[in-house]
């Protein structure tokens, strides 16, 4: 199971990022545990200055803007 955190204030792009990841995981048949992190101190602790940020299995893989489908596929593979 992949542990995924979407880092952000809960803005539209953050919510869309969570939906994109969830939908792609379902298409690929990959089990994920998705957590939305809104605490700015925690977000800054990951070194993310631009949201949404994405953390997969403890590693920051994305920051700022919406991720592309190919990016999400790579994270889940």
User: Other C-beta atoms within 10 Å of 76: how many?
Assistant: 18
Amino acid 27: pLDDT: 97
Catalytic residue among 3, 10, 11, 35: 11
14 given a catalytic annotation: yes
pTM of the model: 0.95
Q: Which two tokens stand for residue 28?
A: 């690929």
User: What range does the domain containing 66 cover?
Assistant: 2-76
Beta bridge partners of 37: 7
Q: Which two tokens stand for residue 52?
A: 């949404």
10 given a catalytic annotation: no
Question: How many structural domains are present in the chain?
Answer: 1
User: pLDDT for 9-18, tens place per residue?
Assistant: 989 999 999 9
Catalytic residue among 4, 14, 54, 63: 14
Residues in the chain with pLDDT < 70?
none
Check residue 21 and report its DSSP letter: H
Question: Domain holding 33: CATH number?
Answer: 3.40.30.10
Amino acid 14: pLDDT: 96
């Amino acid at each position: 199971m992949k542990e995924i955190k979407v880092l952000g204030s809960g803005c539209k792009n953050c919510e869309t990022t969570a939906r994109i990841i969830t939908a792609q995981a379902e298409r690929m048949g990959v089990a994920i545990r998705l957590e939305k992190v809104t605490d700015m101190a925690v977000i800054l602790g990951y070194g993310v200055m631009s949201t949404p940020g994405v953390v997969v299995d403890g590693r920051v893989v994305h920051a700022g803007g919406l991720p592309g489908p190919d990016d999400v596929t790579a994270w889940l593979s």
